[in-house]
Amino acid sequence: MSNVRLFLLLAIGLVGLQLWSAWERDYAPAEMAPQIASPAADVAVDPALPLPAAGDVTTATPAIGTEDLPDAAGMQPAEAPTAPDQVTSAGQTIVISNDVLRLTLSSINADIRQAELLTYPVSLERKDVPIKLLDDQPGRYFVAQTGLRSTAPTQDLAPEFAATSDRFDLSAGAVSISVPLTWRDASGVLIRKVYSLNRGSFVVSVRHEVVNETAADWRGYQYRQMQRVQPPKPSAFAFNNPELYAYVGGAVYSPDEKFEKLKFESFQEEPYQRAFAGGWSAMQQHYFLGAFIPEPLEVTTYSTGVQPGTANLPTRFMVRQISPTQTVAAGATGSFQTRLYLGPKLQSVLPGIAPGLEYTVDYGLVTPIAKPLFWIMAQIHKFVGNWGLSIIFLTLLVKLAFYRLSEAQYRSMAKMRKLQPKLEALKERFGDDRQKMATAQMELFKQEKVNPLGGCLPILLQLPVFFALYWVIFEAVELRQAPFFLWIHDLSVRDPLFILPILNVAVMWYTQKLSPSPGMDPIQKRVFQTMPLIFGVMFAFFPAGLVLYWLSNGLLGLIQQLIITKRIENAK
CA distance 262 to 259: 10
CB atoms within 10 A of CB 41: 20
Residue 515 has a pLDDT of: 67
pLDDT at 278: 94
Q: What is the pLDDT of residue 277?
A: 95
Exposed/middle/buried for residue 189 (C-beta within 10 Å: 0-12, 13-18, 19+): buried
Residues lower than pLDDT 70 in the chain = 1-91, 153-157, 234-244, 407-420, 424, 426, 430-434, 436, 441, 445-446, 448-459, 515-525, 528, 568-572
∠364-367-372 over CA atoms, to 5°?
Answer: 155
Rounded Cα–Cα distance for residues 252 and 520 (Å): 54
Q: Collapse the DSSP code of 450 into the 3-class scheme (helix H, G, I; strand E, B; otherwise coil) and give the result.
A: coil
For residue 568, with 0-12 CB atoms within 10 Å meaning exposed, 13-18 middle and 19 or more buried, which class applies?
Answer: middle
Measured at the alpha carbon of residue 183, what is the angle toward residues 178 and 186, in degrees to the nearest 5?
A: 160
Domain 34-231+322-346 is found in CATH 3.40.50.300: no
Residue ranges matching CATH 2.70.98.90 in the chain: 34-231+322-346
Q: Report the C-alpha dihedral over residues 267, 145, 33, 41, rounded to 10 degrees.
A: 140
